[in-house]
Amino acid sequence: MTASRLVACPHCHTLNRLPAERISAGDTSGVCGKCKRPLFAGTPVTLDAASFAAHAERSDLPLLVDFWAPWCGPCRTMAPAFATAAHKLEPEIRLGKVDTEAQQNLAAGFGIRSIPTLILFKQGREAARQAGAMTADAIEHWVHTHV
């Protein structure tokens, strides 16, 4: 029997079952069974309270979240590095962004006090946290240290 993993669609947030070996092999060709769009776009997913739950709590992929705000200079500076990291880390890791201005309750629930703050979630639980802007290489290294 082939092991499978649940993967949340970055577009409609529906859970899809994929063979684990396809994900391990770096296969990004999966398509959502509901919306028929790619499951791996190589870009960060914009998350709100509802979609956050699908990706952090129900999906089997680890989720790296950038808590940021549009007015934050370091957040804007780090955005291209975070996008580059998303392209390199998928399909093993999903990257998402939470706008702390638009999702104040979500940010407060995780005790976000400074931005940007990165939190890595594994199986619905916080596995690691890092405050401050980082380069793409530093993000990748930090993630691999904690996965």
Residues annotated as part of the active site: 72, 75
Residues 97, 141, 87, 83, Cα dihedral to 10°: 40
Question: 56 — phi, psi (to 5°)?
Answer: -85, -35
- 27's CB contacts (< 8 A; 6+ apart) are 91
**How long a stretch of residues is the chain?**
147
Strand-by-strand arrangement of the 94-99 sheet: 45-46, 94-99, 63-68, 117-122, 125-131
Q: How far is 98 from 64, CA to CA, in rounded Å? A: 11
